[in-house]
Structure formats: C-alpha cells, structure tokens
Amino acid sequence: MKKNYQDKGVDLFWLDEAEPEYTVYDFDNYRYQNGTNLQVGNTYPVGYSKAIYDGQKASGKTDIINLVRCAWAGSQKYGALVWSGDIDSSFQSLRNQLAIGLNMGIAGIPWWTTDIGGFHGGVDDNDDFRELVTRWFEFATFCPVMRMHGDREPHTEPLSNEGGGKMPSGGATEPWAYGETVYSIMQKYMRLRDNLKDYIRVQMKNAHEKGTPVIRPLFYNFSQDDDAWNVEDEFLFGDSILVAPVLYEKSEQRLVYLPEGDDWVNVFTGDLVSGGQTIPVKTPIEQIPVFVRQVDWSHLEKAFESLN
C-alpha cells in the first residue's frame, strides 16, 4: 500500500471490507492464531485498522483517518471512520441507520457515516426511491460525515471485454441523478452543511479531544429529563441542534419531543417552542424537522437561511 499508493500521493484509504466477509456463517469453523472466529472475530476489524494506521504513522503521517466498513471497541484509536456497510435501500434500513449511528457514538466511535439512500436496490428514476434518497440526504446532512454512495440501477454497460473493463458499473448517484426537484432540495442541504462548517468543527474537536459523540441521543445532554431517555427517533447534532428525521414513507407530519430545560426554535418557521413537550411538525418533502436551542439561535440563524 505504501509503495503503490501512499508514495504516489494517497493520504488516506477506503479500507472497505474489514470483517472479513465469510462464505459460510459458521463462526466456529474459521480459525485464527488467537482462536476461532466465534472467540476473537470481533477484534479482527480493530487489528485491521491498526495495521494500516501503524504503517502510516511509521512513515511520518499524522492526523490519520481511513474509511472502513467495520469496527469494534477501540477502532477509533486507529483513525477509523466507519460506515455502516452495504445496506438495503429502504425506509426500514434508514430507521436502522439512526439506531446504529447513535449506538456507535455512545460506544466511543464518533466518526460514522452511511451510504446515502442505501447501497442495494436503489433505482435512479423510481419515484419511491427518490423520496427515500431525499429523506436520507436530509438526515445525512446532520451526520458526522455526509457522503453519497450506492450500487444504483440500472447498471451501465461494460466498457470492454478485457480486464476491469468487463465489469459493469452502477448507475449514477450524484445529487443531480434523481431529477430537478430532488436536486434542488439536495442543493439546499449541501449549502446548509457548508454553512455549518464552523459549528461542525467545534463538535469534531470535542469528539477528538474528549470522545464526545457528534450525534447523540437526547439523554446525553438532558439526563435530568426522564422523557428524553425514551426517545429513539430523534437525536442531537452537537450541542445545539435537535434533528427529528423523517423515517417513514409518504409522511406529511411527525411528532417531535423537545427536551425540558430549554426553549427551541423551529428553523423553518422561526417559532419558539418551550421544551418538555411533544408537538406535531409538518414534514413536506423538502423539510426535516430541525430545532435549535434558543440560546444558540443567534449564532446559527444565518446558517439555516439556505433552507428557506
């Protein structure tokens, strides 16, 4: 890797398959020096990231980070930016991602991301998928890392009959691949992400220095609020922003719980809402419910102007 990539200018790696992937899921049937996969398999991705990290560090690299498909406790020490793998393109999968991301953060691995829209099954010109990828894009705007990826349909034709050219490629997955309506929505959220750079930089610094999750359950900041412990379909993006992703298809509104102890500003309407209550919030396709603590609104208001 050093000879063929790093020495030619590659600073970080997409390490991909770190589990490793098995042909037979009989975990007692695979043997390593330290024991069977059933005994030691979960430590494999830690050693996988460590091996690359150690090589990069020995060659003088600093601030090391690599995109990797699997992790375990301690992987964060070795620059592991983890994504959730080759997941299904469905709203059920989107709901799973929220749970996965929050658990990863609480487990001490703050650098986490997903394939926006899922990896398997998305069809570029299908209206149902366009709804899904839009909702997923809105959610991903408030994830630690925001990235597009996926094996879209229909596949392209192979480029040749030789070598790698024999392999077809997935369809386009750039934001403009899903029609003008979707593209215009995604542009707004890309601008928002860019506008939030200073805010995100602070959250990333806290994650690096103190292990503070970039995304976290409501109870992380509002542990004295008993109701906050029961909310599993919302999260905090940093210290100031509450996000309630749209997790079901054809949703026109959803209920949002606002933690007690703060007043909250609806970023789309500017309405001020007292905490400690659940309220209905409209969810047209271009809006994901987002609230900002009133005490921080003056610092963040300008960033959210791109949504209106």
User: Which residues carry out catalysis?
Assistant: 16, 19, 86
280 bridge partner residues = 255
d(CA 224, CA 228): 8
Query: Which residues contact residue 205 at a Cβ distance below 8 angstroms, ignoring those fewer than 6 apart?
Result: none
d(CA 94, CA 11): 31
d(CA 279, CA 264): 12
Tell me the C-alpha to C-alpha distance, in Å, between residue 287 and each of 61, 129, 152, 292.
Answer: 41, 17, 25, 15
Whether omega for the bond prior to residue 144 falls within 30 degrees of 0, making it cis, is no
Query: Which residues contact residue 95 at a Cβ distance below 8 angstroms, ignoring those fewer than 6 apart?
Result: 233, 247
Tell me the C-alpha to C-alpha distance, in Å, between residue 278 and each of 41, 201, 259.
Answer: 43, 30, 9
Query: Which residues contact residue 37 at a Cβ distance below 8 angstroms, ignoring those fewer than 6 apart?
Result: 22, 27, 28, 29, 30, 31, 44
Whether omega for the bond prior to residue 213 falls within 30 degrees of 0, making it cis, is no
